[in-house]
Chain A
């Protein structure tokens, strides 16, 4: 084992960057699963789909970040359509929605994965940009720009979603539908439309996260499987529906993974990160920022 304070500092710094990336890819799920109680296991698959769309736009000369932003409106509409279908076929019928919902979203994930394989093949895809493959020297350290970009986008996404959910009428309605749906109905609002809107926002966030995903590393159609566990862990650890909590939970996972990886061995990293999740849930079952 190699130990030095420089390495520890580096591990913490990279943990912060990695943690923000984890938070960013979990942000959409925090809305769909955390606030709406929709078992959206297809969230990572939608991210990978957005990564491939980013790849196509990048080949046409667009910067991956710009591509991610441009993809948000169509993904918003896609999310609304997916939720409407889910509502009409599952949620509306009431009983056993959870189990059937999981099956439905696994199906969606599988269709996306197979569609990507048929369309693009199984090879890895990468994007090109000036900030990919280069790093910023800070003393002895070299920080990859791609991680800094992911960090910046994660912070922007968190601030935007937090402000939207707390300062706008629709945002507050989304929070209200999570807390007391019948009360919202009594106030004259349509919970289904609010949920549909919120699901659209979650999917738009997944589009930007998909762009980040392909900026950080190569993607291939089955990459979503890697992220199912991580994203759900971040959301549960955060406390369902909390954006600030999502960032905090991402940081906890990122920093613990990075320190363990550098000082104790990479094989221990997932075990320690998920051990932390269990510990937090044992002490605080509602998650770090849950009410």
Chain B
């Protein structure tokens, strides 16, 4: 008589534990900048991730469990991220991890994640896994190797007879990686580098560097800068001028994708050719609806109201996790990584297929030229044609206007 009772008890306990587990949310952890130099982008990115959580929960969650996003502010400071991710794993017991926004805050956590054999969804970092070579890393950003960023910029210049290049880069890992890519491409293309300058993060005024660039008379100026510096550089260019020799100016300036900076700089942006992840005119299923909903929420939350640069790609992280978990019916990191590696992901930023290094198999860094921008008008940036796509060719929406001084008018 005892055996059936014991069996019954075991079954009841099993059912109870399953029921309890089903009620527990799927926890996803992220440390993301809400303050500091990357805070502007980080806030917008987090809002997009929260939108995905809302959407997926409205559909019933993942594996019939609600999804919960646990986030901490990394203050744009790489020193904080190992502690944050240890807390997410050991205290909050999250099921899945998303990397911080940006290269520098991500770099310190990759060894930890690799050591523990965890899946990590990258968040707009650049070449951060090149040396660590973690095989469960999948980056949402539309670039892969160092040259994918500068490729379009240099090709656009070469089409207009550019033979010399100036490089201005922040003395930080991300910018230095980009600079290396630009140098390699320039060497392959037979371009002469006539000016090269790394500047420290706390640089107050860029007038001296712009004057030195003007004196070097380059055909192209490839700039790799962080948001604060980008705004100061654009203003210095307007005041000092880079000279009539320059055909292209820009390339890798972070911050010129963010609405407050675009609105503040207004017509000073005209002529600059810069990288982007998305600009109006690129059509992918679902992105228009996302941007419409995002814009309403962003205005209320006082974050980047246009949200072209980071938010769609953060929403895409959620979509990729959703697709992988739904298809595999698992939260096992190895199973999910295997799925992400082998399958095409369908997202609002277009289909994504990953290469062996966890970066996009086919890079899609947009190089676009600002045109016809007027001052104090945010709505103009929603219109196609204000950022004319020059590269990649399959998304091209117009031709480059040269020289830079002419394009600025």
Contacts and interface: CB of A to CB of B under 8 A. Distances in A.
A222 B35 contact: yes
B268 A133 contact: yes
Nearest to A121: B302
B228 A266 contact: no
A220 B37 contact: yes
A75 B173 CA distance: 40
A267 B169 CA distance: 11
B210 to A, nearest CB: 10
B245 interface: no
B239 A134 contact: yes
B66 interface: no
A14 interface: yes
Contact of A217 (B43, B205, B268): B205
A144 interface: yes
Interface in B207-232: 207-209, 211-212, 215-216, 227-228, 231-232
Contacts of A135: 239-240
Interface residues on A, range: 35 or more
A2 B239 contact: no
A11 B208 CA distance: 7
Interface residues on B, range: 35 or more
Given A122-B40, A218-B232, A220-B228, A261 B303 contact: no
A237 interface: no
Nearest to A144: B239
A124 B34 CA distance: 13
Main secondary structure of the interface of B (DSSP, over half): helix
Contacts of A63: none
Contact of B209 (A122, A221, A222, A261): A261
Nearest to A271: B200
A259 B300 CA distance: 47
B71 interface: no
B332 interface: no
B204 interface: yes
Given A2-B215, A18-B205, A270 B232 contact: no
B86 interface: no
Interface string B28-57: 000000111101100100000000000000
Given A134-B239, A221-B35, A222-B36, A144 B207 contact: yes
Interface of B: 34-37, 39-40, 43, 171, 195, 197-200, 202-205, 207-209, 211-212, 215-216, 227-228, 231-232, 235-236, 238-241, 258, 260-261, 264, 268, 302-304
Q: Which 8 A-B pairs have the closest CB atoms?
A: A122-B39, A266-B199, A135-B239, A123-B260, A144-B239, A226-B202, A126-B264, A262-B208
16 contacts: A7-B211, A7-B215, A11-B208, A18-B205, A124-B40, A124-B261, A124-B264, A126-B231, A132-B235, A135-B240, A147-B207, A220-B228, A222-B36, A222-B37, A266-B198, A269-B200
Interface of A: 2, 4, 7, 10-11, 14, 18, 21, 117, 121-126, 132-135, 141-142, 144, 146-147, 216-218, 220-222, 226, 258, 261-262, 265-267, 269-270
